[in-house]
Amino acid sequence: MSELIPIILSGGSGTRLWPLSRALYPKQLQVLAGSETLLQGALRRVQGAQFAAPLVICNHEHRFVVAEQARTLDLPLGDIVLEPVGRNTAPAAAVAVLLALERPGDKPVVLMPSDHIVSDKAAFTEALSQAAEAANRGRLVTFGITPGRAETGYGYILRGMEIADAPGVAEVGAFVEKPDMATAESYLADGRYLWNSGIFVFRPSDMIAELERFQPDLLAATELAVRRAERDMDFLRLDPAAFESISGLSVDYAVMEHTERAAVVPVDMGWSDVGSWHALWEIGDKDDQGNVTTGDVMLTKTANSLVHTTGPLVVTLGVEDLVVVATADAFLVTDRSHAASLGDIVKRLTDAGHPAASTPQRVYRPWGFYQSVDAGERYQVKHISVKPGASLSLQRHAKRSEHWVVVNGVAEVVCGEETKLMHENESIFIPVGATHRLANPGDEPLRIIEVQTGSYLGEDDIERLEDNYGRG
């Protein structure tokens, strides 16, 4: 197999896994199966001599978490490309091929989501080899997953005749939208229909040619966004104005449904898009009653349910076929059959301006994280953790004061003209308008409790004067 350039798409919000997955901390950045996040699993999947260093395309809000998760793997990584807004997979694919063309050789690209599970890596690698051979003959190849059940939540691909000069690869007969159950059952019985995985392999020049043919405006705007991109530390920022002008289209709709070059590799590789709590239940390790559990749970007379908690104890009694999810600030209880409709609930929360729609209790920053502990009228309590050697920005607030108490570690605190070291059980008051900074000079995480008081406690009441991470 010729060398492949992996392009990993990490821009989704995963609303059907709410309340665990949220816009600011979506499912691909979380551990849902095994010991690594879905993004880390995707990065591991494309390591080896047959792969170039992967490129990751993500939302700018996730950039520091993506960078940190990649760093902890200690694996080669190419650019982290930042989208100013989400525009679906076709613009991301265009960005990917334009950047890939800067490398010599017109090597095939594998474009893949970051939020899938693939349990059979050997089958994945074999399918990549077959797809790469077809791509080197000018084909735009997608992976078609051998269906294990009638499924209404996926699009389908009708497999055509096998391509003579590409063993294991077939023509695409048609792309089919998500069917109703009766149609899905007929597809399963037919045997020629495959689930659409959203994984693609193609040469950059071939995708460019088809974009020029079918989506010239999209390609032109993307070229401008890439040409005007700016380096920001370890990131490549696409030009906001150019990228925001692009229509949001999927690769399937923009190119694959129109091109005569479309091909499909049928593959059974233990694939799941983990698109809902029901999907997570299906792939989870079940007890004797068919339950999948995570966290502090106690089940009695409970069957075929998923119970997941990252916070309080959850007890169930005399129920079945439920999804119960508890976080520090939200609870979900639903029948498993309705779990795929959570996107509509999240939209209602978003429209109502509810913070639980997008913001998790724990918010990650390049220096560590903060987590809300309690909040009320004119006050808020946070747990702040600062990584060794890291520091928050030099900043001030117009509408709130802060009181810091060191719980663990050593804090270097700037407050006005004073700089001091603080240790466990020591505290300091930061008045409204005072210039201040918190840093960790030690070799272990610094943990503090912050009590905010004032007329306004929003995160936008921060005036950054200096910042090590390029934030304004």
CATH at residue 254: 3.90.550.10
So what's the pLDDT on residue 469?
A: 85
- Residue 11: which of 111, 97, 99, 108 has the closest Cα? 111
Are residues 331 and 447 located together in one domain of the fold?
no
Are residues 122 and 202 located together in one domain of the fold?
yes
List the domain range (segments joined by +) for residue 341. Answer: 277-347
Mean of per-residue pLDDT scores for the chain: 93
Provide the pLDDT confidence category of residue 459 given band limits of 50, 70 and 90.
confident
Quote the CA–CA distance of 47 and 77 in Å, as a whole number: 10
Residue 206 belongs to some domain of the structure? yes
Is pLDDT above 80 for 89? yes
Is pLDDT above 80 for 340? no
Are residues 167 and 283 located together in one domain of the fold?
no
Look up the pTM and report it.
0.88
* Cα 177 from chain centroid (whole Å): 24
Domain count for the chain: 3
Is pLDDT above 80 for 1? no
Domain boundary among 320, 347, 374: 347
Quote the CA–CA distance of 237 and 256 in Å, as a whole number: 27
Provide the pLDDT confidence category of residue 23 given band limits of 50, 70 and 90.
confident
Residue 357 belongs to some domain of the structure? no
Provide the pLDDT confidence category of residue 440 given band limits of 50, 70 and 90.
very high
Domain boundary among 227, 255, 272: 272
Is pLDDT above 70 for 472? no
Is pLDDT above 90 for 12? no
Q: Which helix (H) or strand (E) holds 181?
A: helix 181-190
Residue 381 belongs to some domain of the structure? yes
Q: What are 197-235's pLDDT values in tens digits?
A: 999 999 999 999 999 999 999 999 999 999 999 998 889
So what's the pLDDT on residue 361?
A: 80
So what's the pLDDT on residue 271?
A: 94
Residue 355 belongs to some domain of the structure? no
Quote the CA–CA distance of 410 and 406 in Å, as a whole number: 8
Quote the CA–CA distance of 70 and 274 in Å, as a whole number: 21
Residue 356 belongs to some domain of the structure? no
Q: Which position has the higher pLDDT, 33 or 318?
A: 318
Range of weakest confidence among 111-125, 338-352, 374-388: 338-352
Are residues 314 and 332 located together in one domain of the fold?
yes
**Would you call 470 exposed, middle or buried from its count of C-beta atoms within 10 A (0-12, 13-18, 19+)?**
exposed
